[in-house]
């Protein structure tokens, strides 16, 4: 079902394209024609995304899902900038599944991997500039003046004998042929891009009128509550279904993947009926699983599972390469080094815990299948719907609502399938399946737990000459039955450990290996995916090397980053913000400061933290972050993504840990999975560093960096190095 | 059948009396701005006002609402005014929401706080507002509450 999930590898975007076996999309390079192709729907329709009404009102269907990251706004700004319209007159609509809306960088319509703005950037600029050219041409014809004599300002076409608005000529313009050569604005002329006006979705979001997946409603609809087994593949007997079906308001019961659904006229009635049903589990892939057995399984893999090497996974390096000479060189460097440093780290499973619990609506009727919900992957949801119902794709309509948080969880389609199965039990009626918070925790697709063993060689001056890191843990790709990406055969699952040792560091010999661990715990993509663990592993270990060398942690890093001016810049900025003064590490005497960074293609994030440690008590005094994503389309949202991403990562660093006992996760609600509240969040300062005319990924950038920054600060304060997250295992926080 | 005053109007609720106010508001009256987050009163996404006090409506069965007056996010701003409530406006000005799911509850909690303490200190804000925001908008929430308080003072 999920085997067509696109891979999530932190490669260059070009690399991702090739990794999933497609070429560069025509949308990206072929000018605006693909998006502007006449649809015949309306005379003022400029392709499936853009229409202009006679009064100048502009409607833009933005193809990405909005889960808080702000890409609805960012993508709309990109079109509006090139179109030259009055951005205040643009209404933004949420999308439906449509091949025309595919992200050119993935050739699928999905919102994940921080690739919406980067993937759609060129295509949407082409759409805007192409439509502008058509409008100007129509005005020139109307006014009988040369096109060159006209220009565009805020939706007005000026320079002719009279000023025409976009609305005046939209109908004529939409009939014209699409210009072949788009004339893009120079970035220095941007005003909508880079502007600081509030996002268009904020009014609805503060008024309570924004429609999230859980708000989908229509007369005569049904609500499905679930009874779920401890694992999607568990087998069970359901007890009490017949009695539940007789309870007030209950319409019917239905088997769904991994459980049963109770359909009723109201949530509360469905929920109460569901609580009367018991599942006797006969077999479960995680029967008997506990924290202890999980940890033992991961640690055992270091000895029992032969390691597979990772390719060099650095932004910009594609196709991935295996350096077969790396291993002997690394081993030799380690063997002959005057000094070796070893350390082992581990991180637990993490939950997504989106504020909107998992939910999805569906209706099966004579027209086909309708799916309406908070979906990160409309393309895959549509395919899942077609497969489950046997309908052709064109009979499956998928409509995307606002997402009350996604963070990767709503990229899964397990809940979409369940919603469709529930709807199949009530043909003709819309059925909204609503998971409880308890089910949202219990049946999450967790960020997998991982353990790492790293060893480095230092030369006589304390410079690292080789780093060898081995990681063990469950493969997300394996859980979702995915074949290796083309070009990755014989290499370790890139979803487990891209950049476990940063390629940006100029260390002569590096090797990363994977001991694939079969655990069958449901796992999936969690904001920043591999970096969510690997930034902690990589940047903690480098910090330990600085300690071993007795060198200032910032200076130690900078010395290995001579060829990385943008990484140096964010590190130096974050350090300045926290008031960094060079000295020997670990000498903080209760007051420590730590620094760390991570990076992707055209995105660089550094975080510095200051902490006070007194015995078991830890206080985070301040957090400062410097971020360079090239061109920030919506800088205020970008800054919010960095500070919000830090809070998201702070939760994981301090408290995030899913426990397992007796074959199931034990977290039931927020009381068992602590979230930061206002009182817990220290001052966070963010600085954006402009880095050019091309946007970079934003949404996942800061989340993985806060854990190593904090743990490095704790060590700098003179406390013992944290090698296992969450920090609450060691400190009272 | 419980009769409850919601947003200034007396409303009949055909729902079962043990139904939490949250679900009755959402499903009987279509007031979906009040959100389901946890069902145990932990997250605050379902916060409404009961006689002006912030309450977590997932924990309040219809049968217990009584004669109290319920206000939801949809009626926080006076109906006749086009303007938003000062807290809602501050939320836009400070560009607080990300996914936005928790924000109606957050705004209701803040509006109730400002009604009883028009000029809360930062420490009070941090202590009194205990709603969960998974997107981590907290830094801007503090700024927005201070803005809203300042505006109330000025007007």
Report phi then psi at A260, rounded to 5: -130, 155
Question: Could you give the CA distance from residue A1 to residue A476 in angstroms, rounded to a whole number?
Answer: 14
Chain-chain contact of B15 with A268 (C-beta, under 8 angstroms): yes
For residues A231-248, one letter each, b for 16 or more C-beta atoms within 10 angstroms of the residue's C-beta and e for the rest, the string is bbebebebebbeebbeee
Question: Both tokens of residue A602?
Answer: 């055209």
**Min Cα separation A368/chain B (Å):** 26
Quote the crossing angle between the two packed helices B138-154 and B103-116, to the nearest 10°: 40
Longest dimension (CA), chain A: 82
Question: Could you give the CA distance from residue A157 to residue B138 in angstroms, rounded to a whole number?
Answer: 43
To probe the interface with A, which of B97, B136, B140, B148 has the most A CB atoms within 10 Å?
A: B136
For residues A695-716, one letter each, b for 16 or more C-beta atoms within 10 angstroms of the residue's C-beta and e for the rest, the string is bbbbbbbbbbbbbbbbbbbbbb
Quote the crossing angle between the two packed helices A530-549 and A706-716, to the nearest 10°: 20
Q: Let me know: does A471 contact A452? Beta carbons within 8 Å.
A: yes
pLDDT attached to residue A6: 33
Q: Let me know: does A213 contact A359? Beta carbons within 8 Å.
A: yes
Sheet bearing A684-688, strands edge to edge: A591-600, A603-614, A617-628, A684-688
Chain-chain contact of B134 with A405 (C-beta, under 8 angstroms): yes
User: Among partner residues B19, B30, B139, which is closest to A643 by beta-carbon distance?
Assistant: B139
pLDDT attached to residue B111: 98
Chain-chain contact of B74 with A207 (C-beta, under 8 angstroms): yes
Task: Determine the 3-state secondary structure of A254 from DSSP.
Answer: strand
The distance of Cα A394 from the centroid of its chain, to the nearest Å, equals 28
Chain-chain contact of B32 with A403 (C-beta, under 8 angstroms): no
**Min Cα separation B93/chain A (Å):** 7
Query: Residues near A621 by Cβ (< 8 Å), separated by ≥ 6?
Result: A610, A611, A612, A682, A683
**Min Cα separation B78/chain A (Å):** 12
DSSP β-bridge partners for residue A664? A661
Q: Does B81 touch chain A (CB under 8 A)?
A: no
Apex A374 CA angle, A117 and A215, nearest 5: 130
* DSSP per residue, A302-348: HHHS--EEPP---TT--S----TTHHHHHHHHHHH-SEEEEEEEEE-
DSSP β-bridge partners for residue A431? A222, A362
Counting Cα atoms < 13 Å in the Cβ hemisphere of A587 gives: 11
CA distances from A430 to A214, A312, A385 (A): 13, 48, 15
pLDDT tens column, B23-79: 999 999 999 999 999 999 999 999 999 999 999 999 999 999 999 999 999 999 987
In sign, the C-alpha dihedral spanning B107, B113, B116, B117 is negative
Task: Determine the 3-state secondary structure of B103 from DSSP.
Answer: helix
Across the A:B interface, residue pairs with CB atoms under 8 Å apart total 185
Report phi then psi at A269, rounded to 5: -70, -40
The DSSP bridge pattern shows strands A396-400 and A90-93 to be: unpaired
CA distances from A554 to A460, A595, A718, B95 (A): 20, 7, 17, 33
DSSP β-bridge partners for residue A402? A212
In sign, the C-alpha dihedral spanning A312, A318, A319, A324 is negative
Question: Both tokens of residue A239?
Answer: 């007890």
Chain A residues within an 8 Å CB radius of B43: 355, 670, 675
Report phi then psi at A686, rounded to 5: -125, 135
pLDDT attached to residue A319: 67
Chain B residues within an 8 Å CB radius of A645: 136
Q: By CA distance, what is A353's nearest residue in B?
A: B134
Q: Does A637 touch chain B (CB under 8 A)?
A: yes
In sign, the C-alpha dihedral spanning A283, A286, A291, A296 is positive
Closest by CA to B55, choosing from B4, B119, B90, is: B4
Q: Does A650 touch chain B (CB under 8 A)?
A: yes
List all residues of chain A from 210 to 229 with a beta carbon under 8 Å from chain B.
210-212, 214-215, 217, 223
Report phi then psi at B120, rounded to 5: -70, 145
pLDDT tens column, A165-207: 999 999 999 999 888 777 899 999 999 999 999 999 999 999 9
Closest by CA to A75, choosing from A49, A106, A57, A112, is: A49
Chain-chain contact of A677 with B130 (C-beta, under 8 angstroms): yes
User: Among partner residues B38, B99, B139, which is closest to A681 by beta-carbon distance?
Assistant: B139
Q: By CA distance, what is A70's nearest residue in B?
A: B98
In sign, the C-alpha dihedral spanning A488, A494, A497, A502 is positive
Question: Both tokens of residue B81?
Answer: 């005014």
Chain-chain contact of A407 with B134 (C-beta, under 8 angstroms): yes
pLDDT attached to residue A491: 80
Chain-chain contact of A676 with B136 (C-beta, under 8 angstroms): yes
Q: Does B108 touch chain A (CB under 8 A)?
A: no
Chain-chain contact of A678 with B129 (C-beta, under 8 angstroms): yes
pLDDT tens column, A216-265: 999 999 999 999 999 999 999 999 999 999 999 999 999 999 999 999 99
* DSSP per residue, A15-39: HHHHHTT----HHHHSTTHHHH---
List all residues of chain B from 124 to 153 with a beta carbon under 8 Å from chain A.
125-127, 129-142
Q: Let me know: does A652 contact A725? Beta carbons within 8 Å.
A: yes
* DSSP per residue, A656-672: ----EETTEE---SGGG
Q: Does A592 touch chain B (CB under 8 A)?
A: no
Question: Could you give the CA distance from residue A414 to residue A226 in angstroms, rounded to a whole number?
Answer: 13
Chain-chain contact of A437 with B40 (C-beta, under 8 angstroms): yes
The distance of Cα A258 from the centroid of its chain, to the nearest Å, equals 26
Is the pLDDT at B81 greater than 90? The verdict is no
Q: Let me know: does A578 contact A609? Beta carbons within 8 Å.
A: yes
Chain B residues within an 8 Å CB radius of A355: 35, 37, 43, 45, 99, 101-102, 132-135
Chain-chain contact of B136 with A209 (C-beta, under 8 angstroms): no
The alpha helices in A61-115, defined as continuous H runs, are 71-83
**Min Cα separation B109/chain A (Å):** 13
pLDDT attached to residue A13: 30
pLDDT attached to residue A270: 98
Question: Could you give the CA distance from residue A393 to residue A387 in angstroms, rounded to a whole number?
Answer: 9
For residue A392, the surrounding DSSP H or E stretch is: none
Question: What's the burial of B3, exposed, middle or buried (CB within 10 Å: 0-12/13-18/19+)?
Answer: exposed
Question: Both tokens of residue A145?
Answer: 């003046």
Q: By CA distance, what is A650's nearest residue in B?
A: B136
Chain-chain contact of A679 with B35 (C-beta, under 8 angstroms): no
Give pLDDT < 50 ranges for chain A: 1-34, 38-43
Q: Let me know: does A491 contact A309? Beta carbons within 8 Å.
A: yes
Q: Say which DSSP state B69 is in.
A: E
pLDDT attached to residue A318: 64
């Amino acid at each position: 079902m999920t085997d067509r999930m696109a891979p999530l590898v932190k490669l260059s975007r070009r690399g991702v394209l090739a990794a999933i076996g497609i070429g560069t999309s025509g949308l990206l390079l072929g000018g605006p024609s693909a998006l502007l192709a006449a649809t015949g729907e309306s005379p003022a329709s400029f392709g499936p995304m853009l229409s202009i009404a006679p009064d100048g009102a502009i409607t833009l269907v933005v193809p990405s899902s909005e889960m808080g990251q702000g890409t609805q706004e960012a993508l709309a700004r990109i079109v509006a900038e090139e179109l030259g319209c009055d951005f205040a007159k643009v209404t933004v609509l949420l999308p439906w599944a449509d091949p025309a809306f595919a992200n050119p960088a993935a050739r699928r319509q999905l919102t994940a991997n921080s690739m919406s703005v980067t993937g759609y950037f060129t295509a949407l600029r082409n759409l805007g500039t192409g439509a502008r050219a058509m409008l100007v041409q129509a005005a020139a014809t109307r006014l009988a003046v040369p096109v060159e004599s006209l220009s565009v300002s805020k939706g007005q076409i000026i320079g002719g004998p009279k000023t025409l608005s976009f609305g005046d000529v939209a109908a004529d313009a939409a009939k014209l042929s699409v210009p072949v050569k788009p004339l893009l604005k120079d970035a220095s002329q941007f005003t909508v891009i880079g502007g600081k006006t509030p996002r268009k979705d904020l009014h609805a979001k503060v008024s309570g009128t924004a429609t999230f997946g859980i708000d989908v409603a229509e007369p005569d609809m049904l609500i499905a509550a679930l009874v779920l087994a401890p694992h999607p593949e568990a087998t069970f007997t359901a007890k009490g279904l017949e009695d539940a079906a007789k309870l007030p308001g209950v319409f019917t019961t239905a088997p769904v993947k991994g459980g049963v659904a109770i359909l009723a006229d109201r949530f509360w009635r469905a929920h109460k009926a569901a609580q009367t049903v018991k599942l006797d589990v006969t077999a479960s892939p995680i029967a008997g699983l506990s924290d202890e057995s999980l940890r033992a399984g991961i640690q055992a893999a270091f000895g029992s599972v032969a390691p597979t090497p990772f390719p060099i996974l650095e932004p910009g390096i594609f196709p991935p390469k295996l350096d077969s000479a790396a291993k002997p060189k690394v081993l030799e460097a380690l063997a002959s080094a005057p000094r070796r440093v070893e350390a082992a780290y581990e991180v637990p499973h993490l939950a997504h815990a989106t504020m909107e619990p998992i939910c999805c609506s569906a209706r099966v009727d004579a027209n086909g299948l309708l799916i309406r919900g908070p979906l990160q992957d409309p393309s895959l949801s549509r395919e899942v719907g077609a497969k489950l119902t046997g309908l052709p794709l064109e009979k499956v309509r998928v409509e995307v609502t606002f997402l009350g948080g996604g963070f990767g969880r709503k990229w899964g389609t397990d809940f979409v399938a369940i919603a469709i199965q529930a709807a199949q039990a009530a043909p003709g009626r819309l059925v909204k399946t609503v998971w409880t918070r308890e089910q949202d925790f219990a049946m999450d697709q967790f960020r997998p737990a991982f353990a790492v063993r790293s060893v480095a060689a230092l030369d006589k001056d304390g410079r690292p000459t080789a780093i060898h890191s081995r990681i063990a843990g469950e493969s997300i790709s394996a859980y979702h039955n995915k074949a290796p990406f083309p070009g990755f055969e014989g290499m370790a699952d890139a979803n487990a450990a891209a950049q476990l040792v940063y390629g940006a560091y100029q260390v002569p010999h590096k090797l990363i290996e994977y001991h694939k661990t079969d655990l069958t715990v449901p796992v999936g993509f969690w904001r920043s995916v591999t970096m969510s663990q690997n930034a902690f592993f990589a940047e903690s270990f480098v910090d330990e090397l600085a300690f071993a060398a007795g060198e200032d942690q910032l200076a130690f890093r900078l010395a290995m980053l001579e060829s990385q001016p943008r990484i140096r810049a964010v590190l130096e900025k974050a350090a300045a913000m926290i008031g960094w003064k060079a000295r020997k590490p670990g000498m903080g005497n209760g007051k420590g400061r730590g620094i760390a960074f991570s990076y992707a293609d055209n995105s660089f994030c550094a975080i510095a933290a200051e902490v006070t440690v007194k015995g078991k008590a830890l206080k985070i005094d301040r957090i400062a972050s410097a971020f360079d994503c090239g061109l920030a389309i919506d800088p205020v949202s970008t800054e919010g993504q960095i500070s919000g991403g830090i809070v998201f990562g702070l939760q994981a660093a301090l408290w995030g840990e899913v426990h397992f006992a007796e074959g199931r996760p034990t977290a039931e609600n927020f009381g068992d999975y602590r979230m930061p509240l206002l009182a817990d969040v220290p001052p966070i300062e963010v600085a954006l560093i402009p880095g050019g005319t091309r946007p970079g990924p934003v949404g996942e950038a800061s989340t993985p960096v806060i854990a190593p920054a904090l743990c490095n600060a704790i060590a700098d304060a003179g406390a013992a190095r944290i090698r296992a997250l969450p920090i609450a295992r060691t400190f009272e926080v | 059948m419980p009769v409850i005053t919601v947003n200034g109007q007396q409303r009949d609720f055909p729902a079962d009396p043990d139904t939490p106010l949250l679900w009755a508001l959402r499903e009987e009256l279509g007031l979906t701005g009040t959100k389901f987050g946890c069902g145990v009163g932990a997250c605050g996404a379902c916060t409404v006002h009961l006689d002006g006090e912030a309450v977590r409506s997932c924990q309040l069965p219809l049968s217990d609402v009584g004669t109290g007056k319920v206000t939801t996010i949809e009626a926080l701003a006076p109906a006749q005014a086009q303007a938003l409530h000062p807290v809602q406006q501050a939320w836009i000005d400070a560009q607080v929401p990300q996914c936005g799911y928790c924000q109606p509850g957050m705004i209701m909690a803040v509006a109730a706080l400002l009604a009883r303490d028009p000029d809360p200190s930062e420490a009070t804000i941090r202590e009194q507002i205990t709603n969960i925001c998974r997107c981590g908008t907290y830094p801007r929430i503090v700024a927005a509450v201070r803005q809203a308080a300042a505006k109330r003072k000025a007007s």
